[in-house]
Amino acid sequence: MIPEVILYTDGACSGNPGPGGWGFILRHPKSGKEIERSGGEAATTNNRMEMLAVIEGLKTLTRPTSVELISDSKYVLQGLEEWMPRWKANGWKRKTREPSSPLKNIELWQELDRLLSQHQIKFTHVKGHAGHPENERCDKLAANAAKQFRHR
């Protein structure tokens, strides 16, 4: 039997680009155990932080797992569900005809692709800053992580 977890993620950025942070909560519903982690970068974008929250959360899993990924990032969820399969089919390019514009954050999309291939993923979107307790907690984790990079 494959383990089941819920992964809540969020990213934050002060300026875009600017100092940013990511945060996640990984919950195992059957045992009630949770892991919270966060981190950040001095000069980044909100999209990169949203992606890193998912990457870092998935990297904590040590075996194939059924994951419900809950995020307020339409960019990440739409990218994973809709855009990434086309990019892969087009050789990690946005368009099939020249000139094709380079894919932003390609190294993160490729890492997400690698991690997703190891797990069964269900994608769930929640509205950000709307009182969802875990989303609010992840936002706080990300914002606090970003603060450490301000005024350096």
Q: Which residues are catalytic?
A: 10-11, 50, 72, 129, 139
Phi, psi of 140 (to 5 degrees): -65, -40
Q: How far apart, in whole angstroms, are the C-alpha atoms of residue 77 and residue 124?
A: 8
Cβ–Cβ under 8 Å, residues 69 and 7? yes
Q: DSSP string spanning 53-98? A: HHHHHHHT--S--EEEEEES-HHHHHIIIIIHHHHHHTTS-S-SSS
